Structures are given as C-alpha cells and as structure tokens.
Homo-oligomer: A and B are copies of this chain.
Amino acid sequence: MLDSDNFQLALKKNDVLVLVVNCVIDYDGRAQSHLPSGDRIIIIKSDKSLLVHQPKGSSPINYMKAHSQHELAKNDNQFLIESKNQEFKEYLTITINKVYSFNAYNLKDDEKLELAGTERDMAEMIYTHPELICKGFKPLSKEEHTKYGFIDIFGYDANNELVVIECKRYIGDPKAVTQLWRYVEKIKSSKGVKKVRGILACPKISPSAKKMLEDFGFEYAKINPPKYLEKFSKKQKALHEF
C-alpha cells in the first residue's frame, strides 16, 4: 500500500522502490520536458536515482541522477512524487492518477560486469598481434594519454614511418576519421615529422568515412574486435552455437 510513511521508510532503508502507475511527468533541469498521462513503471534505486519507463523502448523516458531527493505527497485523489537534485538543479514532478502497484525491496548486489570485445580489447589485440595491421609493424605504445593525446596505438611500420591507429569496435564513421586526423596532426607537430600514416581499424566503414580516408590519404584496416571472456564456461558458450 502506497502512503507517505511507507514511501519515506523505504527510502530511509535504502530499499529499491518499484511503482506501476498512471501518471503525468514534468521535468526541468538541463532541459525541460512534459509527458501526458500514461501507464509507466517507476524505479527509485538505493542510490536515489529514479527511472521512469514506458511499456516500450529500452531507454527511460524520464529520470533523475543518483543522490536526488524524493518526496511523496497526497493531494486530493492524486499522489505526487517530487524529486529534486540540488547539485544539478534538476526537478521532476510525477503526478500520479492511479497506482497499480507499489513494492519496496532490500536488494544486495555488489557485482560488476565483466565485458569482452571493447575497443580497448581491440587495441590490446593489435598491440600483441601487430601483424594484423601489416607485416613488420612495430607498436610503440597503446592508450597513450600523456604526450600525444588519446591515441589508441602508435608505432613504426617496416619502413620506419610513424603510424597512428584509431580503433572502432563497430563502424568507422566521419567522426572517427576526423579524430584520427587530429591525432596524426598532433604526432606530426610534436615529433616534427612531415609524414605520418593514419590507419582506421574497424570491422565496418561508412561510405562518407571511406571517402574521407581517401581524401586524407589514410588507410582502412578491416579488423573485428576480439570476443573472449575467460569466465565463460564451455557449457555457456555451447548455448548459442547452434
């Protein structure tokens, strides 16, 4: 049963609150939004973040960041949830017309996701298998953050020419090419050399990115990100092999 006392008690206990309601939502903060009445699921997590989910779509339609403050008020026949985040000056008002359900759960979960197949994994793979780029490629560093900017990989090719590689785990688009260009220019000026090879390593490339690569005199290396998670058991792998 939803009432102000239950709501505040659950918040105080750092429970996760799950409400299913018909509501109207207004937001003001980084932007402003209004959402007319409809059925939604509201989750207030133990870190005091709030999510509003419609029956469709994978992103929340409204939300508040962690460490927000939430209050429930009863107003004639309506409930009202007012959430505010002082730090970011954000305000959310949920006008509840009907409550379908309200539950609070004390949930424990400190686990983090192990993920394989990221851009970082791709750079790692190229670093340890430089022949994937070209014969005789000698990588000097990966994830160079300090001297030359945020460059995925750079090194020397068989002719001792400098090579800058930008990795994308899915598709190389115009933004990736301009990013590569920016890094090549940085290396040129900091190393004081005229010619630096730029290589975009990705499994797919968009048409306009392909044209941009040609315009810049850069190269495309068709490479797939590695997918291997140590803790995946053979049984689990077998699940999706048919």
Contact = CB atoms under 8 A, between A and B. Distances in A.
Interface in A102-120: 103, 105, 107-118
A82 interface: yes
A240 B117 CA distance: 44
A45 interface: yes
A73 to B, nearest CB: 12
A51 B58 contact: yes
Contacts of A36: 111
Nearest to A46: B55
Contacts of A231: 34
Contact of A109 (B40, B58, B107, B240): B40
A78 interface: no
B105 A100 contact: yes
A103 B101 contact: yes
Nearest to A170: B30
* Most interface-central of A100, A169, A239 (chain B CB within 10 A): A239
A75 to B, nearest CB: 12
Contacts of A191: none
A105 to B, nearest CB: 5
Given A47-B56, A175-B175, A107 B33 contact: no
A41 B55 contact: no
* Most interface-central of A36, A101, A229, A240 (chain B CB within 10 A): A240
7 contacts: A26-B232, A31-B118, A33-B114, A35-B112, A45-B56, A93-B236, A101-B103
